[in-house]
Chain A
Amino acid sequence: MKTAKQLNLTLCPKCHKLNSLKAEPQQCSRCNGKFYQRKRNSLQYTLAWNLAALLAFIPANLYPIMIVYQLGIGDEATILSGIGEFIDHGLYPIAVIIFTASIIVPLLKIIGLFVLVYKAYTGIRLKPDKHSKIYHILEVLGPWSMLDVFVVALMVTVVELGFVTSVAAGPAINYFTITVIFTMFAANSFDPRLLWDKKADKKSVIQAPSLSDNLSGEIPRNKG
C-alpha cells in the first residue's frame, strides 16, 4: 500500500487537503495554513508533556482535593480517600465513575502514551493497526478525567450555606487539572502516522538489507 509520504505528498492536518510537498513548512493550497509532513518532534513533545503530567499526578494524589467544613470544622479528603468514603456510604456507582475518571483514565493515558512512544521509536513488536486504535481510544478518553474538577467546582458553588456547611477546593485540584491538560497536550502532539512509517521502514530494511542499517534506527522525523 502506498502512503502519501512515499509519493512526496502531504496531508493538511486542518482541512485534509493533499498537497505535493515543496518546502517545509508547507503552505496548504486550500486553507493557506502552514504545516509539516509529520508533526515535528512529535515523540519528544509527547514524552515531555507526558513526563510533566506524571510529575503533576503525584501531588494531585497526595494533597487534599476537597475540604468539607461542617460547623467550622474542616474535613480534608484526597482523591483516593474520597472514593473510600463513597464506598463506605454504599454509593458504588459514583465510586466506580470517579475512580475510573480520576485514577484509571489519567494513569492509562500516561502509561499508554509512554508505550506508544517507545514502540514508535524502537519498532519492537509494533502492530500499527492495533496501536493506532489504542491511540484513538486514549485521545477520546482524555477530557473525561476533567470530571473530578467539575464535580468539586459544583460542590463548592452549591453547598455554600455559610457556617453550617461549606466546601472548599484543596490544592490538589490545581495539580490534577495540570495533569489532565498535559495528557491532552501529549496526546495531541503524538502523530499516529509515525507508527505506520516505522513499520514500513522495518519492512523495507528486511527486504533490502543492503541499505545502511544505521538509518533504520532513526525516527522518521522532519528537518525544519
Chain B
Amino acid sequence: MNNKINTSLFVACQQCDALYDKPHLKQGQLAKCNRCGSTLIERKVDSIERSFNWSLAGLMLMLPAIMLPIMGVTLAGQFHQASLFDCILVLIDRGFFMIASLVFLFAIAVPIVRLAGALYISYSFKFNKLRPSLLNFFRAYHHLDNWAMLNVFMLGIVVSMYKLIDDTELSVNLGLLAFIFWLICSTMSAVALDQDYIWDKLEKAFAKAEVQDENS
C-alpha cells in the first residue's frame, strides 16, 4: 500500500471513516458525508470576529447571571430569593455535596472556562498572536464540548417555576434575564467558532511536525 499519500488533500468522515477529496469551501458553505450524512467540513462566516464578540459579551454577563437572584418565593408572609451562587452555597450548607458540585461544574465552571477559552482563541487570531501553546489549548478545549449544560439548567428553571407558581407567589428577578442572555452568548460563541479554519491556520503557523516527517 502506498504510504506516501499527501494527507492534506483528503478528509475523512468523523462518523464513518469514509474518505473524500478535500473540498474547497467558501464562507458559509458546508460539506456533508454521502454515506452517513454527518458534516465533514464547515466554513463559518466571519468566525473569529463573531466568536470574539459573543464570548466577550458572555464573560461580561457572567457576573450578573451568577450573582443576581434568579427567582424568589413568597409564602406565608416570608420572602426568599436565590441566585445561582446562593444555590451552591445552600446546597453545600445542607450537605448535598454531590448536587452542589454538579451544579457548580455543569452550570458555572464549564461554561465559564469555555467562554474564556473561546475568547482567548479568537483574541489570539484576531490580533495575530499565535503561540505554539494554542495547539494544546485548543485540543483541551474540545474535551469540554459535551459538558456545558446551561440549556438544561434553563429548562430546569422553567420547570421549577411552573412547579412553584401553583402554590406560592413567585417573583422573577433580573438574574433570570441575565442568565438567559448568558446562555445565548455562550451557545453562540461555541457555535460561531470555526474549528476547521482554526486548525488549518494553526497547522500553517506551526508546521514543524510536517517538516520532520518529510526529513525522516
Contacts and interface: CB of A to CB of B under 8 A. Distances in A.
Interface of A: 1-5, 7-9, 11, 13-20, 29-33, 89, 91, 93-94, 97-98, 128-129, 132-133, 136, 142-144, 146-147, 149-162, 164-165, 168-169, 173-174, 177, 184, 188, 192-193, 195-197
B142 to A, nearest CB: 5
A89 B149 contact: no
A30 B199 contact: yes
A16 B195 contact: yes
Interface stretch (B32-40, B52-60, B117-125, B184-192): B32-40
Interface string B100-131: 10110011000000000000000000000000
Given A16-B14, A173-B96, A173-B99, A8 B1 contact: yes
Contact of B15 (A144, A150, A192): A192
Contacts of B78: 161-162, 164
Contacts of A150: 103, 107, 149, 152-153, 155-157
14 contacts: A7-B1, A13-B14, A17-B7, A18-B8, A19-B7, A31-B136, A32-B139, A91-B163, A132-B36, A150-B107, A150-B156, A153-B100, A177-B98, A195-B16
A9 to B, nearest CB: 7
B96 A169 contact: yes
B8 to A, nearest CB: 8
The size bracket of the interface on B is: 35 or more
A153 B90 CA distance: 9
A189 B76 CA distance: 51
Contacts of B149: 143, 146, 150
